[in-house]
Amino acid sequence: MPGFSLRLWRAASIVFHTCRNKNKKTYCKVAARRGPVVAARQETNKTLLGQSARMDVTLQAAPLTVFLVEDSLAIRARLAETIRGIDGTELVGEAGSVGKAIEGIRSTHPGAVILDLQLEDGSGLDVLKAVHPAAYALHVAVLTNYATDQHRRACLNAGAEFFLDKSSEFPRIREIVQRWTDRPDGAAVGA
């Protein structure tokens, strides 16, 4: 179609795209599951009712949706404040237990999860194992006070991109989420 261009940054998240020309009007539909996935721009010159018109339609990128899993209310509040302070992100849910985390992540379909390893009723590793196979493109950063090599390997093998020690690496969360926002196609697996 002349004058039409479409740019996709994360094609796996696109559900469908159709354009058709009906009675000299162009109809376009674009649907996306989640995350900053689509930018589409259509520029055409047309004659509508005898007048020349230029159509310029731009779909803006959606924010990176983040779900927060932390059992400490003080740390959860600090993380939530950090996430809300990053342009291009939206905090879509919080949980402090394994069951509520799995339910919340499955119902909100976030693009990223910040996950505490030790929760009220179990391990964040159980959450990761439950949700990651169904949402392979999900970004996950694990925060813990139990930063052993064994825990690190288990979390990275289960799909986490980052494994951070709360006592020394807490400030990296802002940098990591910002990177995910800037590069929605994925960040490099980190330590």
Tens digits of per-residue pLDDT, 59-73? 456 889 999 999 999
Residue 86 pLDDT > 80, yes or no? yes
Q: What is the pTM of this model?
A: 0.66
- Residue 94 has what pLDDT? 97
Residue 118 pLDDT > 80, yes or no? yes
Residue 171 pLDDT > 60, yes or no? yes
CB under 8 Å to 5, separation ≥6 — which residues?
41, 42, 43
Closest C-alpha among 72, 81, 76, 140 to residue 105: 140
Q: Whole-number mean pLDDT of the chain?
A: 74
Closest C-alpha among 1, 2, 37 to residue 16: 37
Distance CA 16, CA 33 (A): 10
Are β-strands 118-119 and 122-123 bridged in parallel, bridged antiparallel, or unpaired? antiparallel
Helix, strand, coil distribution of the chain in percent, nearest 5: 30, 40, 30
Residue 50 pLDDT > 90, yes or no? no
Distance CA 116, CA 166 (A): 9
For residue 167, give the DSSP letter. H
- Residue 137 has what pLDDT? 80
Question: What is the percentage of the chain residues whose pLDDT exceeds 90?
Answer: 56
Strand partners, 31: 16
Of 45-49, 162-166, 186-190, minimum mean pLDDT range: 45-49
pLDDT band of 184, cuts 50, 70, 90: low
Distance CA 155, CA 175 (A): 20
pLDDT band of 29, cuts 50, 70, 90: very low
Residue 92 pLDDT > 80, yes or no? yes
